[in-house]
């Protein structure tokens, strides 16, 4: 008997150092949208988090998928495997892929045109909004999904601190599921959906916290400037920010503000504890396309936010 499996993006999987793993706010919101669809259709569904690996790891003869695709219904949201893995999946399963990461765009569009997959690619959405519009085309998007989209895609110079109202709302959402992982986050989204008044509450309550965070980041960048560190990535020598634990959850903001300040026409690298996991960030206007850099290094992402493993 076939079963339905939903695979969603997570920033890091559980490990000895990080037993819960680290959620991707967009990926877990997309997974929640799938759970609502499954409940509506009366479908039992298994949720599996996935994180991006290097091309080398995907091409290894030892690589194995974390699920059995054969004759099953596989739904992949805010994430996609490389083309050779995706094509093999399409041969064995009924496959839906809903992704927005630039480095996967070309082949996902082709696979969709070839009718090998449902869904496909949309760079104008985030995983959560793309998933919602696919499964609920005639329903209004949840009030908090546009905030998830701004944060994930960095629209309107979000990560450079240009829309603190949106950051404050996202801070409230993040604190609600702090310490949770996987499907344990779903009740948080249920509560958010039922209480739209939280939007104004979060904006008022957490704006001071955003301002304090920005001061902490500026202090860190001042210290970095007094003792700068660089790393070589391909042909580029770029600033690298090695963050202590207190700034881990703000790594994208550090990267965006740091790139604006120290690398306005290039990009910066950021690490959080694990020096083999490299995040790249560039300015929305005038910065380098870091998705292209990450792809050459076996990683992926979007134009101004990408990453790879060394």
pLDDT tens for 119-170 read 999 989 999 999 999 999 999 999 999 999 999 988 878 887 789 999 999 9
Confidence of residue 18 (pLDDT cuts 50, 70, 90): confident
What would the 3-class secondary structure string for the chain be? CCCEEEEEEEEECCCCCCCCCEECHHHHHHHHHHHHHHHHHCCCEEEEEECCCCHHHHHCCCCCCCCCCCCCEEEEECCCCCHHHHHHHHHHCEEEEEECCHHHHHHHHHHHHCCCCEEEECCCCCHHHHHHHHHCCCCCCCCCHHHHHHHHHCHHHHHHCCCHHHHHHHHHHHHHCCCCCHHHHHHHHHHHHHCCCHHHHHHHHHHHHHHHHHHHHHHHHHHHHHCCCEEEECCEEEEEEEECHHHHHHHHHHHHHHHHHHCCCCCEEEEECCCCEEEEECCCCCCCCHHHHHHHCCCEECCCEEEEEC
What would the 3-class secondary structure string for 150-175 be? HHHHCHHHHHHCCCHHHHHHHHHHHH
The mean pLDDT of the chain is 93
Q: Work out the burial of residue 221: count CB atoms within 10 Å of its CB; fewer than 13 is exposed, 13-18 middle, 19 or more buried.
A: middle
User: What is the C-alpha separation between 57 and 277, in angstroms, rounded?
Assistant: 14
Tell me what pLDDT residue 302 has: 87
Per-residue pLDDT for 274 more than 90?
no
**Cα angle for residues 93, 96, 97 (degrees, 5° grid):** 120
Tell me what pLDDT residue 130 has: 97
Q: Which two tokens stand for residue 42?
A: 């009366």
pTM over cut 0.75? yes
Tell me what pLDDT residue 67 has: 96
Question: Beta strand pairing status for 94-99 and 118-121?
Answer: parallel
Per-residue pLDDT for 85 more than 80?
yes
Whether 222 and 261 have beta carbons less than 8 Å apart is answered as: no
Nearest Cα to Cα of residue 171 among 203, 149, 128, 196: 203
pLDDT tens for 110-120 read 999 898 999 99
Confidence of residue 196 (pLDDT cuts 50, 70, 90): very high
Of 16-30, 38-52, 61-75, least confident by mean pLDDT is 16-30
Per-residue pLDDT for 73 more than 90?
yes
- Write down the residue that tokens 């801070």 correspond to: 171
Q: Which two tokens stand for residue 179?
A: 């310490």
Whether 26 and 129 have beta carbons less than 8 Å apart is answered as: no
Per-residue pLDDT for 17 more than 80?
no
- Per the DSSP assignment, residues forming a β-bridge with 221 are none
Tell me what pLDDT residue 161 has: 79
Q: What percent of the chain has pLDDT over 70?
A: 100
Confidence of residue 192 (pLDDT cuts 50, 70, 90): very high
Per-residue pLDDT for 37 more than 90?
yes
Q: What percent of the chain has pLDDT over 90?
A: 77
Q: Which two tokens stand for residue 243?
A: 């963050």
Phi, psi of 18 (to 5 degrees): -135, 80
Whether 303 and 289 have beta carbons less than 8 Å apart is answered as: yes
């Amino acid at each position: 008997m076939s079963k339905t499996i939903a695979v969603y993006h997570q920033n890091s999987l559980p490990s000895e150092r990080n037993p819960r793993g680290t959620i991707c706010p967009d990926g877990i919101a997309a997974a929640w949208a799938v759970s609502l669809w499954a409940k509506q259709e009366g479908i039992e569904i298994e949720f599996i988090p996935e994180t991006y690996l290097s091309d080398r790891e995907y091409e290894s003869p030892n690589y194995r998928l974390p699920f059995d695709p054969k004759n099953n219904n596989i739904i992949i949201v805010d994430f996609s495997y490389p083309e050779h893995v995706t094509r093999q999946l399409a041969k064995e399963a009924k496959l839906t892929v809903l992704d927005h990461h630039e480095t996967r765009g070309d082949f996902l569009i082709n696979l969709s045109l070839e009718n090998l997959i449902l869904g496909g690619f949309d760079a104008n959405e985030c995983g959560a909004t793309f998933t919602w519009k696919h499964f609920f085309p005639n329903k209004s998007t949840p009030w908090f999904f546009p905030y998830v989209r701004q944060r994930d895609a960095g629209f309107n110079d979000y990560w450079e601190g240009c829309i603190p109202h949106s950051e404050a709302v996202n801070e409230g959402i993040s604190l609600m599921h702090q310490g949770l992982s996987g499907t344990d986050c779903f009740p948080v989204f249920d509560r958010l959906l039922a209480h739209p008044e939280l939007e104004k509450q979060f904006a008022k309550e957490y704006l001071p916290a955003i301002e304090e965070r920005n001061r902490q980041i500026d202090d860190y960048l001042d210290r970095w400037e007094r003792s700068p560190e660089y790393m070589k990535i391909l042909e580029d020598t770029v600033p690298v920010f090695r963050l202590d634990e207190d700034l881990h959850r703000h790594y994208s903001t550090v990267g965006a503000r740091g790139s604006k300040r120290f690398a306005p026409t290039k990009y910066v690298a950021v690490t959080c504890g694990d020096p083999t996991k490299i995040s790249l960030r560039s300015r929305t206007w005038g910065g380098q396309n870091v998705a292209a850099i990450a792809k050459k290094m076996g990683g992926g992402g979007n134009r101004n936010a990408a990453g790879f493993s060394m």
